Amino acid sequence: MVRLIMGGKGSGKTKQLIELINNAAKDEPGNVVCIEANRNMTYDIHYHIRLIDAEEYKLDSYELMRGFISGLYAGNYDITHVFIDNLCKIVGEDVNKETENFLNWLDQFGEKNNLKFTATISADTSVATDGMQKYL
């Protein structure tokens, strides 16, 4: 399952994401991971959440993100939810067909491994491709 949160800068995406992350810390039966573009949420999220700074790992493409997420799961089968804050900023791209392909991959990977994904993108929902609409 993939949930996508989109909106322009200052629209409250990160605040909404922090609330979802903290609720997941209480409600999820397994481990929760948050991948962010930088360490802005360190003091806002529950200390049980595994916070990952994408800059440390140079996750600057969707292919690297696929490998990184696969590796996270391979190393810890107890992960039940992965949050990705500001996906396009992390990979250094605008919303495009590759973004849609990545979200589709997340959906398939999540279905296969019983994982949930929630991602934010700083862009108006009008730029979302038709294939991305189902995740909004």
- What does pTM read for this prediction? 0.96
DSSP string, the chain: -EEEEEE-TTSSHHHHHHHHHHHHHHH-SSEEEEEESSSTTTTTS-TTSEEEEHHHHT--SHHHHHHHHHHHHHH-TTEEEEEESSHHHHHT--SSHHHHHHHHHHHHHHHHHT-EEEEEEEB-GGGS-TTTGGG-
Q: State the pLDDT at residue 40.
A: 81
pLDDT-based confidence at 41, cuts 50/70/90? confident
Q: State the pLDDT at residue 38.
A: 83
Q: State the pLDDT at residue 39.
A: 81
Q: What is the pLDDT of residues 51-66, one digit of tens each?
A: 999 999 999 999 999 9
